[in-house]
Structure 1
């Protein structure tokens, strides 16, 4: 099988050169990250002819020991310098490290990269979707909400979910928009919609900072006496954390924020969303969307698989 794959790679090379006259390299591996590393090796070692097959575990180990950690797909210059201070200088060092410790120290994204280098498939073999340019979290309330405190609870819950999505794609945001509205079917005199745009002092993915901004916005747009039916949180002006240049005059971020957020995400991934949350989000919220008629999760939950009779 490995020989067949290598020949397939050379056939692809020949076909592309014949059709468009562009030289290409082909990397083959059991995971996407290893295949990317194989492609890098094909570019740097002419003797390979531009085709490197890493399906053989011995070949994997040999290349991992030769490849600098900065050449691993998704690591980059800034992150590689941080890893090197911890003694992780090669792709082999990263693959040998405890992936859970890597996740706590840096991010879930880097944890998946480390696992991929070990031969564990964590990334689907499809084109990488571009990071979202904005993230929206919004739901209709299960009942009408009148109190500012309940709106703050809802905003905190929706902001928390938006922040999780933000970190999942390795981004930070510089702007948050919070809006509230009543039912569009209410009498005209009882209708109300308003929103507040909050500029953050420094780009962040810290759930606490984002909730603080949402609360400040809510205080400016809340009007007593209205029956609110919906709250929306929108994260805007997103940028990738990797390669971000920090403003030396901006307020310094909290210490160990990346590690704290990574720990929260890992706990919630293992024990269920909301297992670890900020104190302003209640365990059971009266305003939460009603889910009595929720359809079973046939495709995402083992417990809810349909039974054949």
Structure 2
């Protein structure tokens, strides 16, 4: 089987994003070896970032250490050195030999790892601009600068994205435009174009916009092509997240492909690729 990078349909290429660095559903999240593999292949891959007590950034999803690592307590109350002493936990909660990475550790892996020019690493910042200060931004810039051209930083906070990328012209911007309450109101009122326009007004230079996948299909059910509406603003669309590969989810993904989303976030790129290519 070919590597699970993208699907071509109807003259359009849709990338399969390796959510939290997973190639397949059985993979643990955020392991350096798997992320580096993806980057060498030219894949699209995502990791999450949480600010530490030293204003570094840990490659973790949760604001606390308890579930994902062998540590405990808030990430914001833990030093960089202490975080580096922790190990990741697997899907069953058992400790792994893989250490928890800080952003600079991951960037050093990339810098020495023959990254494919097409590879794109999404840094999904899980907090808002209130947590960022000059020290946090300076550490982010120092870590990512040498590999910024293969990165996109994403958040639901346009201000946070602007703060993090101000000194990194090579880094792409990604905006999570998923606001389900606003979307439902716009859908009910027949004002989905306004929803799109308002999202792009928040981040007009977004290279990628992230939408919960059901928003794409609900809009289509209402006769509105939300993917095309964002495309007309010059941005690409990532539909997130396909958790499992089942007959039902494959049908959903086929519809997303028909609607020409540019990227699909999935916890099982390999399984989804196999299902779509058979």
TM, length-normalised to structure 1: 0.26
- Relative to its length, the structure with more strand (as a share) is 2
TM, length-normalised to structure 2: 0.28
Larger radius of gyration: 1
Where relative contact order (Cα < 8 A, 6+ residues apart) is larger, the structure is 2
